[in-house]
Amino acid sequence: MCPSCCFYDPETGKEDPSKNGVCSNFLCDSKPGDKVQVTGPSGKVMLLPEDDPKATHIMIATGTGVAPYRGYLRRMFMEDIPTYHFNGLAWLFLGVANTDSLLYDDEFSSYLDKYPDNFRYDRALSREQKNRNGGKMYVQDKIEEYSDEIFKLLDKGAHIYFCGLRGMMPGIQETLKRVAEERGESWDEKLSQLKKNKQWHVEVY
């Protein structure tokens, strides 16, 4: 099995098969000569826009919804691409139950060390952290914590992405609506404008 496709428990150092990727492990287990059917991308919602390398990208994920952002961040910080030299801000919010559920945490943390001016990383650990009201810390609570900054970035043209379980969106939408109203804005009008400007990207399942 390909080590790069496996998740190793940081405490035991042993492979945790329950966190194997369906696609990545299929490819790792394939042998030379095997036929592989490939399709996609099926849409443009979650494709990284590369027309402005100085753009701000606010990425919000729950669990395995972090997958496309891992691809974005690798393209921004690891790949040598003549046509795309990222020099903007990538801000990742990741919501999971606890620390041992954080996927690719070492990888993301390394970007913090190497690119402190271009990458921010905030974790919401629902079983380990408390929100400001003493309840469980969900990703929408982290969004609310930084809402003033997020709204200012959106007003300046930042892209915002959401990926993860479909159930994540109602709580996030309610939080954004409440924050907008507290700022004296209409969330419906703001959302309409974000969609019109192609700043709003959602892929939930």
The enclosing H or E element of 163 equals: strand 159-164
Q: Look at residue 41 in the predicted model and tell me its pLDDT.
A: 59
Same domain, 52 and 11: no
Same domain, 107 and 190: yes
Is residue 173 a contact partner of residue 140, using CB atoms and an 8 Å limit?
Answer: no
- More confident of the two residues 46 and 140: 140
Q: How far apart are CA 168 and CA 163, in angstroms?
A: 9
Considering the domain boundaries, does residue 114 fall inside one? yes
Same domain, 86 and 138: yes
Q: How confident is the model at residue 22 (pLDDT cuts 50, 70, 90)?
A: confident
User: What's the count of helices (H) and strands (E) in the chain, helices before strands?
Assistant: 7, 5
Q: Look at residue 4 in the predicted model and tell me its pLDDT.
A: 53
- Domain range for 197 is 46-204
Q: Tell me the average pLDDT across 137-148.
A: 95
Percent of the chain with pLDDT over 90: 73
Considering the domain boundaries, does residue 38 fall inside one? no
Considering the domain boundaries, does residue 178 fall inside one? yes
Same domain, 78 and 165: yes
Render pLDDT for 52-83 as a digit per residue (tens, 0 to 9). 999 999 999 999 899 999 999 999 999 998 99
Same domain, 98 and 175: yes
Q: Tell me the average pLDDT across 122-129.
A: 93
Considering the domain boundaries, does residue 41 fall inside one? no
**DSSP secondary structure string, 33-96?**
T----------STTSPP-S-TT-EEEEEEEGGGGHHHHHHHHHHHT---TT----SEEEEEEEE
Q: How far apart are CA 43 and CA 106, in angstroms?
A: 30
Same domain, 7 and 65: no
Same domain, 67 and 10: no
Number of domains in the chain: 2
Q: How confident is the model at residue 5 (pLDDT cuts 50, 70, 90)?
A: low
Q: How far apart are CA 193 and CA 200, in angstroms?
A: 9
Same domain, 120 and 174: yes
Q: How far apart are CA 195 and CA 191, in angstroms?
A: 6
Q: How far is CA 121 from the centre of its chain?
A: 9
CATH number at residue 87: 3.40.50.80
Q: Look at residue 21 in the predicted model and tell me its pLDDT.
A: 73
Considering the domain boundaries, does residue 40 fall inside one? no
Considering the domain boundaries, does residue 67 fall inside one? yes
Considering the domain boundaries, does residue 181 fall inside one? yes
Same domain, 29 and 60: no
- More confident of the two residues 58 and 39: 58
Residue 110's Cβ-count burial label (10 Å; 0-12, 13-18, 19+) is: middle
Same domain, 12 and 80: no
Is residue 143 a contact partner of residue 156, using CB atoms and an 8 Å limit?
Answer: no
Q: Look at residue 78 in the predicted model and tell me its pLDDT.
A: 95
The mean pLDDT of the chain is 90
Considering the domain boundaries, does residue 137 fall inside one? yes
Q: How far apart are CA 63 and CA 31, in angstroms?
A: 29
Q: How far apart are CA 134 and CA 114, in angstroms?
A: 34
- State the pTM of this model: 0.81
Q: Look at residue 43 in the predicted model and tell me its pLDDT.
A: 66
Q: Look at residue 1 in the predicted model and tell me its pLDDT.
A: 47
Same domain, 79 and 8: no
Same domain, 139 and 164: yes
Q: Tell me the average pLDDT across 141-155.
A: 96
Is residue 5 a contact partner of residue 21, using CB atoms and an 8 Å limit?
Answer: yes
pLDDT at 45 over 90: no
Q: Look at residue 39 in the predicted model and tell me its pLDDT.
A: 75
